[in-house]
Structure 1
Amino acid sequence: MDVDHKSHDHKSDGRGANPLVALSKHGQSPWLDFIQRSFTENGSLKKLVDEDGLRGVTSNPAIFEKAMGAGTEYDPQMKELLAHETLSAGELYEKLAITDIQATAKVMHPVFVETKGLDGYVSLEVSPYLAFDTVGTTEEARRLWKAVHRENLMIKIPGTKEGIPAFETVTSEGISVNVTLLFSLDAYKNVLEAYIKGLEARHAKGQDISKIASVASFFVSRIDGKIDAEIDKRVAAGDKDADALKALRGKVAIANAKIAYQHYLDVTKSARWQKLAAAGANPQRLLWASTGTKDKAYSDVLYVDSLIGADTVNTIPPATFDAFRDHGKVSDSLTHDVAGATHVMAEQKRLGLNLDAVTETLVTEGCASFCDAFDKLLGAVANKQRTFLGDKLIAQEAHLPGEFAAAVKAEVENWRKHGKLRKLWARDPSVWTGGEEAKWLKWLDIVDERLAHVDELEAFAKEVRAKGFTDVLLLGMGGSSLGPEVIAETFGGHEGFPTLHVLDSTDPQQVVTYEKSVDLKKTLFIVSSKSGGTLEPNILKAYFFAAAEKALGHAPGSHFVAVTDPGSHMEAVARKDGFWKIFYGEKEIGGRFSVLSNFGLVPAAASGLNVRHFLHSALHGVREAAASVPPEENDALKLGVILGVGATTFGRDKVTIVASPAIYDLGAWLEQLIAESTGKRGKGLIPIDDETLGAASVYGKDRVFAYLRLKDAPCPHQEKAIKALRDAGEPVVTLDLADKIQVAQAFFHWEFATAVAGSVLGIDPFDQPDVEASKVETKKLTNAFNETGALPPETPFAKDGPFAFYADGTNAKALGTGDVVAILKAHFGRVKAGDYVGVLAYVERDTATREWIQKVRLGLRDALKVATAAEFGPRFLHSTGQAYKGGPDTGVFLQITADDVADLGVPGEKYTFGVVKAAQARGDFDVLSERHRRALRVHVSGSLDVGLKLLAEAIAKAV
């Protein structure tokens, strides 16, 4: 395309007028298949209108990809938009494209006026991803028509069987349409019929049809490309009809177009059409598309010279536009030798060239080609967007061994090719198991939803501050507690606001510790329970409601807030007891995906965190994972693919989470998200949190390392250890957070990655079938206590000093009846490469016990060269417990229980906190045994400190 304002005067030596201008005398309008901002802004487009008789402009994803993907002309608008809005790549592209379309429409508008709405159009395509979606195409056509808001706009809709009804509908609504990707006569007939029906429907309602225009884009050169290739193949093979085949080279596409034009002429002569014409209807002109010559053996203007006729359009690519200006030949070629065209069509059929099959293939390929181009376009936009936003976004980098990297790349391409990312956002359960997954996807929208109502949270925060609370004590378990705990541990206190504490244990010592750490008279209690029927939050509420009433000397409802799903048991309790406020969760969000809902935001607001700022950061994570961000540029999707492929293809099903000290608690939240989402039906990822990194030699080949690094506060030991792991060829994914507030992004990033990993694993990541099993066993035991005043008796299979050992028959037989070291030696002797060891301690989680369990787990790791999980019960039951019972049978478990120094009663119940904890431990162990896990329980009597010290020594000797 001549874009430097050289003269377009044709044949300056006087050989004739400009052929492009001459087309109008034959009733044809030349349109340009090209759009670019600089081309419009520098006057080049207007020059074509003035000098070449240009009458319209078309665009498509491939054209925009070339325009936006290279150079810097779109950068200023990108930066301006991103400075004020949080956009997905698709939203950003659309704003850029609409700006171009509007500017082009302005240049072309004088033509529109001059031709009384026949020409002067610019076309904008609906998303190619919607080619086989009638409803989606209809909705997007309406939306784009409204957004561009220009009378000389045409919306491009593909002529697929799904696109045609959408075209008919929007035509009846007064929208001008360019129907694209037409290759066959039958498809064109259907499109023309849909146009007429759309006009008739509108006319029947008494609405104006004179302002509607449409073109039917009939593709040309691509047909010859396919047919000629088949001809050449058969001729080379010595086909008996070689001469007849060769005679058809370069002729089928033009013949096909001429026959389509004859149909157009017949229809416009009909009484049916004449009735519409009398009402002011514009004909739907045939537009010849794909008119650049692909075969160099043909004239470079073949598909312009040969298709000139009245009431037609030729949308010409830039090079062909220049070529036709230079040496095009103008005549009424479209109606020349129609009999010859009919003969060509008969011959292709006789010779078995199968034009019908070719055109079907071309529609499929055309849609795929536009999708590929759109992927490249959106990928280019996403890439630039990430560059401009810089530290506002989490940065992800993966170091993977060669075969691993190749497998991940292949799976990412599989997601792109089959549109699985868009299906995920469309809530299509086929992304997973085709089950009930769609019921649990409200977390995809919750950030936008909560931002729309953030004023409510900010008002609550002001009220909390005004009431002078010194502490907030959240009472919850699992998804209701782990997210708030991250917020409490990461962001700490905020001046003028109460300190947030999170209690998620039934251990009586731990309950007392938290009770003593707050001023009951100045504490706001948040009872957080999604279903409202979970045992732990209910008994914690009962205990602290009574304790607060005693401290205050009156009903303490004004100090209590509930966060629960609408209609839950907890809502009823809160209303009965006069709670100050009730905040609702979303029934369509599972607990472990709920941190960006009220379950995380209410305690965050109460503690003084700027929830608006927090949600805006999370929104970046949502937009970065959007359906419009192609998989190759979609880091959250790629993380999920890495985790899924690592487990399914390479046996790397242990996800070791390493987090900078300032954001360390993310690991505990991630444990639940990953384990409870993926560990089921014998499959899954086993998260390993809070494990001090060792030398590469202590790890097997079953790990993927996820390093969450706070860029301004990295840990030197972690940095050194991670580098060593990379150098050793271990797979490491690093996520860099520029600021703590990006923990909000990390929440969504990992939620999305986990959903993707579940798809790769072939499971439903939103159910938790094995968590319920432990609850059932626990309930049996507490019911038994209520009935008899005691838990059912149990007999150890061995004793040694302060230790009593319990196991089911199979495990007991395998472990023998020796001393503590012998039993532990037999137990850990069953650990094989690729296994993991779970140390499950039902004791108070405090500094001393956390240090103890870390020392034990690292000793086991280094001695056995396997992953180790260090967990406290009953907390982990609502977290990793799902994977231990339902995931792969690779766990070797040591459960630790102990005598309680003191116990606490549960108001209104016969059982105590100590009884509940014991029942939970036994219920957990019973399910592990039922699932044939390698499990051993050791009960410590007497002093816990002494008992744990002796147990650690025995474990060290055993391994």
Structure 2
Amino acid sequence: MGVEQKPNAGKVANVLRGMADFGQSPWLDFIQRSFTADGSLKKLVDEDGLKGVTSNPAIFEKAMGYGSDYDAQIKELLADEILSPGELYEKLAITDIRATADVMHPVFEATKGLDGYVSLEVSPYLAFETDATADEARRLWREVGCENLMIKIPGTREGVPAFQQVTSEGISVNVTLLFSFAAYVDVLEAYLKGLETRHARGESIDKIASVASFFVSRIDGKIDAEIDRRVKEGDKDAEALKALRGKVAIANAKMAYQHYLEVIKSSRWQKLAAAGAQPQRLLWASTGTKDKAYSDVLYVDELIGKETVNTIPPATFDAFRDHGKLRASLTEDVEAARHVMDEQKRLGLNLDAVTETLVTEGCASFCDAFDKLLGAVAQKQKAMLGNKVLKQSVQLPEALKKDVAEITEDWRRAGKLRKLWARDPSVWTGGEEAKWLKWLDIVEERLAHAVELEAFAHDVRARGFTDVLLLGMGGSSLGPEVIAETFGRHANFPKLHVLDSTDPQQIKAFENAVDLKKTLFIVSSKSGGTLEPNILKAYFFAAAEKALGKAPGAHFVAVTDPGSHMEEVAKKDLFWKIFYGEKQIGGRFSVLSNFGLVPAAASGLDVNAFLRSALHAVKSAAASNPPAQNEAFQLGAILGAAATRHKQDKVTIIASPEIYDLGAWLEQLIAESTGKKGTGLVPIDDETLGGPDVYGKDRVFAYLRLSDKASAAQDKAIKALAEAGHPVITIDLADKMAVAQAFFHWEFATAVAGSVLGIDPFDQPDVEFSKVETKKLTNAFNETGKLPDETAFAKDGAFAFYADASNAKALAGHDVGTILKAFFGRVKAGDYIGLLAYIARDEKTRAWIQDVRLTLRDHLKVATAAEFGPRFLHSTGQAYKGGPDSGVFLQITAEDHADLPVPGEKFTFGVVKAAQARGDFDVLSERGRRALRIHISGSLEAGLKALAEAISKAL
């Protein structure tokens, strides 16, 4: 796009140059890098007397969105920095503004600062925010650093006080989107006040310039349309209405100019002028003709006057050069203009309402253009980054695709992404969500302190530890487990183990797997009051003390929130270090905080590289990446739409073998965040892929694919599911380090899905209920030396069956076959089965639970969840109790062949596990869930084998 030079350019008769004789400055409403770089802009200055340049989001969208002008700089910037689309756009725009300002600077000097300006607009998203507009104006003024810059601020009710404030600070401003006489009066008053405030402080006002951009043609567009409508309908005033066609906008502008002339005659202005103040000139904007019935230079010909500016679009610039007519038109027929204004009022054309609408539409139009601009920048950025960022592709049924598009447009129009990043709780329920959003900027915060974690890693290696044993539950353990399982052991660093169980056999297995004398113990607990980390700390502190023969505090590190009980314990027991979490981050969103990074650093992971990878995901999900291009948002919208509009609420997680454990972390994030108030997403992890025929219609498949290690079998199975019409989301990670990106990507998507579901994704009310029930039972044990008695409703060999009265009645029977047949007979299409095993989690038991779940899935065509307690209580347990009532739960408990004491307590680990199982079951029953508990006596291995056979027969 360019400005065509006509044959008579540069001649003495050039009417563009002749505008100066009438006191008007021609500015160009256009900016483009190539146009500046190839000398075309300077040619307009030299030959046509061009005096200034304006830009807006629509102009930049056309300039940046097409062609390759900006590709080289984009590549250069992205090689050095990790940027959001908005940050990238701004760097590109500032480069253009500075280059244009250089071309225009001789004009600035020649006119002593009256002309030679280039304008850069504050974000149109801020049009109705006073403080944010002023802040951005200041920031852009500093960033550009050119004396012939004008910051464009919209003349909204909120924009005017921002303009007044920054004027008083010495910033030159182009006030834009002025349509009404009243709005212009307010703007000129604000200019005077801003100068007066600055002058009263004894500061100079001779370097400040301002223009008031008064929009013209859009007014006629609205008024003429109304005239045409009324004439067509046979209005009694048809002739009078037709006489106003094409005249109201110019009359409105002339009235504004008359007000300007009155003000500059005032003693108030003369005082400021004597101090060196420049007048705020009226700038005629939107001067391209929209109606072909009018002259294509109408809004230039008719608005020529002293101390004014006309910012002209390229086509009109060429047209005026060719056949424009110079005369002092702005002061002609002023009385006729007043008559037009009176007539429009008499005839009910309601110019005031029209101008109000135009301001709103103008702001919306600039926002739309800015969305398109940022979307185009985001697309280019993504293409140039290549495999540095995760890639998401989706295959959705048409109905779901349409619903996602509707949600996307709703979020775009309402600016909900910006509201989310602004911590506005109205994105969700308007409750306490804002208290839990520190995860949005934790990556940049931790990057700024990465040196501390690197120093810790160095010290861990220097101390010769061979093992790191993390003691935690839920958010404190699942993220570190992903890091341990994904990255394995790093050379010259200890091996990371993660223990999140109260099962005595499992605890003993971990104790035997490490050298207690050379183990660093990380006790990880946000609140410091969670039962499991506290009793695990007590046990291993005592074990380490025995092995070392001295107080083992130097072998212990705590990760906890400031002021927690765990902080007190760590100080009392002289822990080597205490790392602090953020109180404003919930456990399941904490993996990119110290709760994930401390164990990662201790095990030798390059934390700086890990966080820089995560930062790519943060910037990709930024508010400046519009919803349609924002893949993290799109993931959340798909999950939310699928659950709320299509009953597809089983999020089935498939992951490449090398990153398989991401699913366990995702289970907690999704279930605990969304499963509440009878709605939510039910994550299904580690369910081996089958053919399309084994699945119902309630699934969304999320495939986490490690690109360089992709499984051909998984790819083939996923393709078959998509072809069968199942919704499939594929997220490609270039390498293992991109797991950091997956963490943030899913956190953001989950927050979005929570909004679509209409819930607070940051609370977990039903997890707390289970804790309460468990505490009741452990307290009872402390008082009586045993857990309260319970009675099985049936027994069969090694099996005892427990249920509340309602479930027991539905499962009437006395043998395992009859009971299981009745139990699984309650499963309906759209349900899922939860296998909740309170037994040691090891290779054998994991293989057993997988075999059973696949048998159930393939026979009943329903989703299956295979969980180990008490681990899942801090993960999927929330959704099982508070989410949709579609779960059918088989809890499995067993006798412990050995138990372990909890130092300082009467109860043992076996008692705690039993109390947790019973507390969990009690809450499931209280919520009316279809639940059965089977307790195995004797050999666990034999009991599990017999149970698997019984389930298979019952089906």
Q: Distance in 2 between matches of 1:720 and 1:850?
A: 25
Q: Deviations over 1:815-852 (max 9, x none)?
A: 01321011011111111111111000000000000000
Letter in 2 for 1:353: L
Deviation at 1:9? Answer: 2.6
2:795 aligned counterpart, secondary structure: strand
Are 2:81 and 1:85 aligned? Answer: yes
Q: Deviations over 1:675-703 (max 9, x none)?
A: 00000011100000000011111111111
Counterpart of 2:232? Answer: 236
> What is the count of residue pairs matched by the alignment?
955
Structural mapping, 1:246-325, within 5 Å: 246-325=242-321
Structural mapping, 1:315-714, within 5 Å: 315-714=311-710
Q: Distance in 2 between matches of 1:291 and 1:52?
A: 18
Q: Do the aligned partners of residues 788 and 2 (structure 1) sit closer, same or farther apart at CA in structure 2, a change above 3 Å counting?
A: closer
Structural mapping, 1:717-756, within 5 Å: 717-756=713-752
Q: Distance in 2 between matches of 1:427 and 1:843?
A: 41
Q: Distance in 1 between matches of 2:161 and 2:783?
A: 67
Q: Is the 8 A contact 1:897 1:921 kept in 2?
A: yes
Letter in 2 for 1:410: E
Q: Distance in 1 between matches of 2:919 and 2:737?
A: 39
1:631 aligned counterpart, secondary structure: coil
Q: Distance in 1 between matches of 2:8 and 2:412?
A: 43
Are 2:5 and 1:9 aligned? Answer: no
Q: Is the 8 A contact 2:890 2:933 kept in 1?
A: yes
Q: Distance in 1 between matches of 2:5 and 2:196?
A: 46
Q: Which of the residues 161, 171, 174 maps onto 1:175? A: 171
Q: Do the aligned partners of residues 495 and 897 (structure 1) sit closer, same or farther apart at CA in structure 2, a change above 3 Å counting?
A: same
Q: Distance in 2 between matches of 1:7 and 1:662?
A: 68
Deviation at 1:112? Answer: 0.5
Are 2:160 and 1:164 aligned? Answer: yes
1:770 aligned counterpart, secondary structure: helix
- Taking every aligned residue pair, what percent have the same amino acid on both sides? 79
2:557 aligned counterpart, secondary structure: strand
Q: Distance in 1 between matches of 2:4 and 2:210?
A: 32
Q: Distance in 2 between matches of 1:892 and 1:825?
A: 13
Q: Do the aligned partners of residues 520 and 79 (structure 1) sit closer, same or farther apart at CA in structure 2, a change above 3 Å counting?
A: same
Q: Deviations over 1:854-909 (max 9, x none)?
A: 01111111111111100000000000000000001110000000000100000000
Q: Distance in 1 between matches of 2:121 and 2:4?
A: 28
Deviation at 1:716? Answer: 2.3
Q: Distance in 2 between matches of 1:9 and 1:661?
A: 69
Q: Which of the residues 872, 880, 886 maps onto 1:884? A: 880
Are 2:820 and 1:818 aligned? Answer: no
2:310 aligned counterpart, secondary structure: strand
Gaps of 5+ in 1: none
Q: Distance in 2 between matches of 1:770 and 1:403?
A: 33
Deviation at 1:926? Answer: 0.3
Structural mapping, 1:112-261, within 5 Å: 112-261=108-257
Q: Distance in 2 between matches of 1:724 and 1:852?
A: 27
Deviation at 1:4? Answer: 6.8
Q: Distance in 1 between matches of 2:711 and 2:782?
A: 51
Q: Distance in 1 between matches of 2:785 and 2:736?
A: 49
Counterpart of 1:759? Answer: 755
Letter in 1 for 2:470: L
1:627 aligned counterpart, secondary structure: coil
Q: Distance in 2 between matches of 1:648 and 1:313?
A: 54
Deviation at 1:491? Answer: 0.2
Q: Distance in 2 between matches of 1:21 and 1:727?
A: 66
Q: Which of the residues 28, 32, 45 maps onto 1:32? A: 28
1:320 aligned counterpart, secondary structure: helix
Structural mapping, 1:833-872, within 5 Å: 833-872=829-868
Gaps of 5+ in 2: none
Q: Deviations over 1:493-537 (max 9, x none)?
A: 000000000000000000000000000000000000000000000
1:35 aligned counterpart, secondary structure: coil
Are 2:56 and 1:60 aligned? Answer: yes
Letter in 2 for 1:927: V
Counterpart of 2:932? Answer: 936
Q: Is the 8 A contact 1:4 1:44 kept in 2?
A: no
Q: Distance in 1 between matches of 2:521 and 2:311?
A: 69
Q: Distance in 2 between matches of 1:378 and 1:278?
A: 45
Q: Distance in 1 between matches of 2:257 and 2:920?
A: 76
Q: Is the 8 A contact 1:2 1:322 kept in 2?
A: no
Q: Distance in 2 between matches of 1:714 and 1:337?
A: 77
Deviation at 1:240? Answer: 1.0
Counterpart of 2:899? Answer: 903
Q: Deviations over 1:376-425 (max 9, x none)?
A: 00000000000000000100000000111111111111110110000000
Q: Distance in 1 between matches of 2:687 and 2:161?
A: 58
Q: Distance in 1 between matches of 2:8 and 2:125?
A: 39
Q: Is the 8 A contact 2:220 2:248 kept in 1?
A: yes
Letter in 1 for 2:398: G
1:854 aligned counterpart, secondary structure: helix
Q: Deviations over 1:432-472 (max 9, x none)?
A: 00000000000000000000000000000000000000000
Q: Distance in 2 between matches of 1:888 and 1:201?
A: 61
2:765 aligned counterpart, secondary structure: coil
Letter in 2 for 1:468: G
Q: Distance in 2 between matches of 1:5 and 1:343?
A: 40
TM-score by length of 1: 0.99
Deviation at 1:29? Answer: 0.4
Q: CA RMSD in A?
A: 0.8
Q: Is the 8 A contact 2:504 2:910 kept in 1?
A: yes
Deviation at 1:275? Answer: 1.0
Q: Is the 8 A contact 2:621 2:632 kept in 1?
A: yes
Q: Distance in 2 between matches of 1:862 and 1:9?
A: 80
Q: Distance in 1 between matches of 2:544 and 2:248?
A: 87
Q: Distance in 1 between matches of 2:185 and 2:8?
A: 38
Q: Distance in 2 between matches of 1:606 and 1:200?
A: 61
Q: Is the 8 A contact 1:5 1:44 kept in 2?
A: no
Letter in 2 for 1:121: Y
1:830 aligned counterpart, secondary structure: coil
Q: Is the 8 A contact 2:5 2:318 kept in 1?
A: no
Q: Which of the residues 802, 806, 813 maps onto 1:806? A: 802
Letter in 2 for 1:113: E
2:578 aligned counterpart, secondary structure: strand
Q: Is the 8 A contact 1:475 1:541 kept in 2?
A: yes
Q: Is the 8 A contact 2:206 2:276 kept in 1?
A: yes
Deviation at 1:717? Answer: 2.1
Q: Distance in 2 between matches of 1:646 and 1:935?
A: 27
